[in-house]
Amino acid sequence: MVNYFSSFLRYAMKTVVIFICIFTILIPFYFIIETKKIIFPILTLFLLILTTYIYIKDRFNIKTTIFNLFERNITFYILVLAFALRLMWVLLVPSKPESDFALMYNTAASVAQGHYQSFHGTAYFARFAHDTITVLYFSLFYNFSNSPLLLIKILNIFFQTFAVYAMYLLINELYKDKKVSRYAAFFMAIFPPYIMYCSQVVSENMAVHFYLLSVYYFFKSLHREKNYLYPLLAGLFLSVGNLFRMVGIVFIIAYLMYTLLYKGFKDLVRTCIPLVIAFLLPLLFISNMLFHNNITDTQLWNSKEPYHTSILKGTNIKSLGRWNEEDAALPDKYNYDTELVKNEATKIIKERLTTTPIYILIPFYIGKLVFQWGLGDFGAYDWTVPNADLTFVSSFFNSNKASVIIICNFILLIFLWKIVKKTSKKENINSFDYFFIILFAGYVLLYLITEMQARYAFIISWIFIPISLSCNLKRKSLQ
């Protein structure tokens, strides 16, 4: 049974990634046509291909030199590189808060003065209560400055640099190989979205490292039977990450499925029960504390705008499942009555799915899939560059979107191609790889069902690194 399920996961992963690969290769040409700039993007692509060729063929002993470099203890220097890249981006591309994040940042100023109307009634953060903790977090910075944007970004840099170290810890726990761990940390250090989003006040900046730490302690708990602290830490870190970006339930499902299928019932009880308890308690405590102190008038997990509206937007074929005015207007149309909105949204969803021909639905969902996962910046360019204050660097990037996307997609394509190679043979797969494939599948399904936005996959886009590892690297299998 487990073998059949593993084979299904492997083939499904390979199929999905091939679709994403095709899109990742083709989409830069759309941006080249859109921007009507050809020479610089083509030159960028040529240099990337040339560099890759030189590395693969080991011209000038570059491959050998890099291989030997990662044999040394360079973890500290990788962290310095990660910090430097993020700091440079924040200073040279000074992005301004935009859209929902501008609202969160600006609302935090009034919250810092003790005004909590934004969390009550039909106000935005009562309708989307999952953003409450991020607003409260931003409000803390107004105690130090009337304009704390740079302070928040500096913390983003530290968080995302720590995420690099968390990746190192996780991979070292899995492979027991510091060299492989350094490769993983290096890939995380240079992965564009984790650099670019540092200059925007997205909630994922505060959540990513907590999610990584949760996975790290989850595997530590599986590898050390008599230590009961690790599953509690895994649940606690997951809970904190979930408070900032409330998609932690997918991790819980992945933990349960992987442990039951690949480790057995004993480990399920020993690891997952304390993990789930440690996940739920902080959420329940903080949510009820905010509620009983009249800071909010609903629970953090119970937004007044039902999740059905996100699914509704996700079924809108005309907008490719993205945000659209037609579906976004539904709550206002029904005066924010939760039950009426829920019933009407459900009715429209059923109508769309039952009356749309299958030959339209299939391309629609394939389109959602590749647009969600196939952009190497995961939407970071549009969130950080066009709205940035003008500097020489931001102006240059603003004029060369196609080239930026080519670089981002090229890095993503390296991960994707390694995953295709890895999933082509059963022998390449470690037992722990199936956890990451299950987790990835969970997020694929989540974003196929709900509203699609390139940024949404950013919270979990680091997953391509552990899945792609071990191709052409020394590895130790822990099966």
- Residues 390-438: tens digit of each pLDDT: 889 999 999 999 999 999 999 999 999 999 999 988 888 889 999 999 9
Q: Tell me which residues of the chain have a pLDDT lower than 70.
A: 225, 471-479
Full domain range(s) for residue 186: 2-36+70-304+357-468
Q: State residue 471's pLDDT score.
A: 46
Asked if the structure places residue 51 within a domain, the reply is no
Asked if the structure places residue 52 within a domain, the reply is no
Whether residues 344 and 200 share a domain: the answer is no
CA 49 – CA 30 distance, rounded (Å): 19
Domain boundary among 328, 356, 384: 356
Q: State residue 426's pLDDT score.
A: 84
CA 110 – CA 240 distance, rounded (Å): 24
Total structural domains in the chain?
2
Whether residues 153 and 108 share a domain: the answer is yes
Reduced to 3 states (helix: H, G, I; strand: E, B; else coil), residue 385 is: coil
Q: State residue 2's pLDDT score.
A: 84
Q: State residue 473's pLDDT score.
A: 54
According to DSSP, residue 389 is labeled P
Q: State residue 479's pLDDT score.
A: 36
Q: State residue 231's pLDDT score.
A: 96
Closest-CA residue to 426 (of 370, 477, 473): 477
| CB within 8 Å of 362: residues ≥ 6 apart | none
Reduced to 3 states (helix: H, G, I; strand: E, B; else coil), residue 114 is: coil
Specify the DSSP element, H or E, that contains 299.
none
Q: State residue 34's pLDDT score.
A: 85
- In this prediction the pTM is 0.93
Asked if the structure places residue 64 within a domain, the reply is no
Whether residues 372 and 348 share a domain: the answer is no
